[in-house]
Amino acid sequence: MNIKLKNDTSFAALDNRSILESARQAGIVLEHSCRTGRCGVCKVKVISGETDVIQAEESLRVEDEANGFILTCCRAVKTDLQLDIGDLGELGSIQTKTLPCRIDSLQPLSDDVVEVVLRTPPTSRLEYLPGQYVDMIGKDGLRRSYSVANAPREDGKITLQIRKVEQGKMSQYWFEDAKANDLLRMEGPLGTFCLRKSNAKQLILLATGTGIAPIKAILEQLSTTPVVNTYNHIHLYWGGRIEQDIYWQPVFESLPLTFTPVLSRTPEWQGRKGYIQDAVIDDSHDLRDAVVYACGSEAMIHSAHEQLVAAGLNSEHFYADAFVSSN
Ligand code: FES
């Protein structure tokens, strides 16, 4: 069976595999993030054809389903299919691979966040776009997803910022057992959270917690590749609960960057308080001329999308990568 996209690209559907996976096997990348039905990034409208649910579509609202939307990570095809979505051309040229890697260093960034630097063999480096993530594969095949926190470096090293998850199996490894030179495997790059071409003059970056990691990678890309930075203003909002959640200071002298840390559980904080989406609204940016990239909790992403679109942002100018945690 065949799946056709709106830019006339088509590919073969694999039996009992998700549409997203069939596309990937054909070297075609569709918009996605979690691949588990929880973030909603892969939502698309079916123009014609039928599909089967093979994984629960947790983030698909009843009204979306009634209007013909599906999640491509959760459905296999039943008949030939036509979807109202194009592929993400250049991303398809970067292949997802599984690579061996070793821990180069480990360093605490706060009480519950550790920075892990990984090195891959010089012959098999990870090729990726800033903003994408990798799956780390530990003992017994346990795997967890982490955004890469740096733009590609000359030495090929990859930095992750890992938050402690109470009772988390992989967390236990990172915070108690991991040591320099440990051998691990990573699969990547994954996800489609990366800068897109835009005519907008304002770039608004939103992060909560370790959602700052891919945003940091994107800022590094903007600062080292001036041709990519077509924005007059870049506004970064980073939300945490307490002061130590803001464990990194963005210093990019070449960028027109304004940084606003926002704390939600520190009444004595002298800076901005509350939630980042409210802070963006309070700052009255002209959202009609903005593009927004948001990474962090599902709650922030849903509420930011709703509030910013209501305040004038074009819904298609909102890109998100939701962190869905697992134990
Ligand atoms: S819901 Fe499909 S990629 Fe997240």
CA 114 / ligand 1 centre spacing (Å): 27
Among candidate residues 89, 187, 151, 147, the one with its CA nearest the CA of residue 294 = 147
Tell me, what's the pLDDT at 126?
Answer: 95
CA 95 / ligand 1 centre spacing (Å): 19
- The CB of 40 under 6 Å from ligand 1? The reply is yes
What atom in ligand 1 is closest to the CA of residue 39?
A: 4
- The CB of 43 under 6 Å from ligand 1? The reply is no
How many Å apart are CA 231 and CA 143, to the nearest integer? 37
Tell me, what's the pLDDT at 27?
Answer: 87
CA 123 / ligand 1 centre spacing (Å): 32
Q: Does domain 95-190 have CATH number 2.40.30.10?
A: yes
How many Å apart are CA 77 and CA 50, to the nearest integer? 6
Asked if 304 contacts 292 with a C-beta cutoff of 8 angstroms, the reply is: yes
Domain 2-91, architecture per CATH? Roll (3.10)
How many Å apart are CA 256 and CA 74, to the nearest integer? 40
For the chain, the 3-state helix, strand and coil shares in percent, each to the nearest 5, are 25, 35, 45
Among candidate residues 251, 236, 243, the one with its CA nearest the CA of residue 203 = 236
Tell me, what's the pLDDT at 325?
Answer: 65
How many Å apart are CA 42 and CA 110, to the nearest integer? 33
Indicate the domain borders of the chain: 2-91, 95-190, 202-323
Task: Tell the CATH topology of 202-323.
Answer: Rossmann fold (3.40.50)
**Which residue lies with its CA nearest to atom 1 of ligand 1?**
37
Residues of the chain with pLDDT under 50: none
Q: What distances in angstroms separate CA 230 from CA 195, 200, 201, one per listed residue?
A: 11, 8, 7
**Residue 47 identity:** I
CA 185 / ligand 1 centre spacing (Å): 23
Tell me, what's the pLDDT at 327?
Answer: 62
Q: What distances in angstroms separate CA 325 from CA 39, 101, 150, one per listed residue?
A: 11, 23, 21
